[in-house]
Structure 1
Amino acid sequence: MHWFDSIILGIVEGLTEFLPVSSTGHMILTNKLLGYEETPEQLKTFEIVIQFAAILAIALVYRQKILQVFGLGKKETVQGLSVDAFPKRRLNLVHVALGIVPPLGIAFLFRDYIKEIGFHTAPVLWALVVGGIYMWVTEALYDSGKIKRTAETMDDISYKQALLIGVLQCVSAVWPGFSRSGSTIAAGMLGGVSYRASADFSFFIAIPIMTVATGYEVLSNIDNFRSGAIDVGFLLTGFIVSFLVAWIVVVAFLKALQKFKLKYFAWYRFVIAALFYVFIMR
């Protein structure tokens, strides 16, 4: 593995992990284009490390909200009163649990299928296409006014909406390439959550979901870490690059959210699917 590889893969992970474009598809395509020759164990170790870096980046962005959910942050007020007096107006651990338990449960139950079949090229290619269509149709319905918007911020999200997001996220849990962020953002919009709040909630619940998933992968590949299957310098380089890029991407995406329509991501996914077919499946 070359230094150039670790930098490029760190950039790709940071760019795609939280955007609705499928980090899985991009990592597979990038590895192929780079002529990546490392063993599967070495590649898995590297991907675990750079994914953990992306988790830390998103946790940094939402650090205040994390503290508030656990009752440790600065108290917000509504007309001079603490939001604790308005429990329905504050995101809490129940919302988070409803958003993460369904996909984590499904992923655990189907873990063998995901490991053996889910990452094959054909399923990932079709996930890119179907996921793009799903996001495109959802945004069309949302923009048409047929969906009543009832939650403008994360604190407005109801338990029912959080559960809907968690349930629909199950598709991405068992179908690599579908995009976890794409499925959650679109699910929120289908349930009447604003685009911004859907994106915020998607990024926020990614922290515990990815932490659990990464922890599981670390335990499953602990021998690779102990044996030093890959150079520490490469791991550190990929980690730093992934962290910085992921942080920049999320901050920029949230600041210019209205310019990033889901249909644009859908079109992008179709292009990536075409490249996927040309460079990997043919």
Structure 2
Amino acid sequence: MEIIELLKALILGMVEGLTEFAPVSSTGHMVIVDDLWLKSKEFLASEYVANTFKVVIQLGSILAVVVVFRNRFIDLLGLGRSKSEASKGQGRLKLTQVIVGLIPAGILGLLFDDYIDENLFTTETVLIGLLIGSVLMIIADLFSPKEPRVTTVDQITYRQALTVGLIQCFSLWPGFSRSGATISGGVLTGMNHRTAADFTFIMAVPIMMGASGVSLLGNWQYFTMDALPFFIVGFISAFVFALITIKFFLNIIERVKLIPFAIYRIVLVAVIYLIYF
């Protein structure tokens, strides 16, 4: 039986890794796959252990971003340039710009975290988030500038960072998709799709690490010897599949844009609704 349960942990890690950074909502897929099929709170013997498990596999996805963008993070911390270059800070994405992009959702997340956890993590609310987020993505593709002014993250302004951060607030609704919201916000402010995706991934690391860190500190007691094998399998699975997905997604996003992902989300909503409701 434990082999089957470890396979479930691997599948949940795979779902997390494949969907965390694509604009399809990892939270939405996790809720749908877990609540309607795998039911991790049963094989992990507790809803609290299951929630901690989901935080752990999310950290696997975050580690994949750090690996892919390691040079950019070194640069943001001022460790990859000479002191004179770092002091000028000209022509480079700054850490303060990333922070500006994080502030709006960070504030709203702190204010409404309990309400979101208690009321919005259901299959029904996730389907609503998937659908409305799809509309935003379609709007972004249809109304974004035909010739984007910003073709690298080093050209992003503070105003654009703040605008993306404000639009990111929509992703607090489970199913909306943080990457879908921020990439849409980026292209609507004049970034090309690849630049908006790069900025999205860079912003993801501090906000996800912060949220995951707080959650882990509050649930450290659930790291028992019985649960540890599931945590390890899920973490490794999420890391490997996120690494593959990020590289693949960054290679295709400028060509395919957002509408194909929006169509996928709409079809998913229709299928889930017809099967389960």
8 Å Cα contact 1:84-1:90 kept in structure 2: no
Aligned to 2:157: 158
8 Å Cα contact 1:253-1:260 kept in structure 2: no
SS of residue paired to 2:52: helix
What is the deviation of 1:255? 1.9
Aligned to 1:224: 222
Q: How large is the Cα RMSD of the aligned pairs?
A: 1.9
8 Å Cα contact 2:192-2:254 kept in structure 1: no
What is the deviation of 1:82? 5.2
Q: How many residues align?
A: 269
What is the deviation of 1:150? 2.3
Aligned to 2:169: 170
8 Å Cα contact 2:129-2:174 kept in structure 1: yes
Aligned to 2:97: 95
Farther off after superposition, 42-51 or 154-163: 42-51
Label 1:230 to 1:121 Cα distance change in 2 as closer, same or farther (>3 A): farther
SS of residue paired to 1:149: coil
Pick the aligned partner of 2:241 from 231, 245, 248.
245
Aligned to 1:78: none
8 Å Cα contact 1:42-1:230 kept in structure 2: no
8 Å Cα contact 1:41-1:229 kept in structure 2: no
SS of residue paired to 2:144: helix
8 Å Cα contact 2:24-2:265 kept in structure 1: yes
| Percent identity (aligned) | 40
Label 1:125 to 1:261 Cα distance change in 2 as closer, same or farther (>3 A): same
8 Å Cα contact 2:65-2:246 kept in structure 1: yes
1:43-54 pair list within 5 angstroms: 43-54=50-61
Matched, 1:59 2:63: no
Aligned to 2:133: 131
What is the deviation of 1:229? 8.0
TM-score, normalised on structure 2?
Answer: 0.91
Aligned to 1:270: 266
1:163-183: CA deviation from partner (whole Å, max 9, x where unpaired): 00011101112x111000000
* Alpha-carbon separation, structure 1, partners of 2:257 and 2:171: 20
* Alpha-carbon separation, structure 1, partners of 2:251 and 2:106: 29
Label 1:229 to 1:258 Cα distance change in 2 as closer, same or farther (>3 A): same
What is the deviation of 1:201? 0.1
8 Å Cα contact 1:45-1:230 kept in structure 2: no
Pick the aligned partner of 1:113 from 109, 115, 127.
115
What is the deviation of 1:230? 4.9
Pick the aligned partner of 2:9 from 6, 10, 18.
6
8 Å Cα contact 2:144-2:189 kept in structure 1: no
Pick the aligned partner of 1:40 from 37, 47, 65.
47
8 Å Cα contact 2:187-2:193 kept in structure 1: yes
Matched, 1:254 2:258: no
1:240-277: CA deviation from partner (whole Å, max 9, x where unpaired): 11101101110111122233320000011112212332
* Alpha-carbon separation, structure 2, partners of 1:92 and 1:164: 16
What is the deviation of 1:43? 1.3
8 Å Cα contact 1:46-1:230 kept in structure 2: no
* Alpha-carbon separation, structure 1, partners of 2:16 and 2:255: 22
* Alpha-carbon separation, structure 2, partners of 1:199 and 1:237: 28
Residue segments in structure 2 that go unaligned for 5+ positions in a row: none
Label 1:49 to 1:35 Cα distance change in 2 as closer, same or farther (>3 A): closer
What is the deviation of 1:123? 1.6
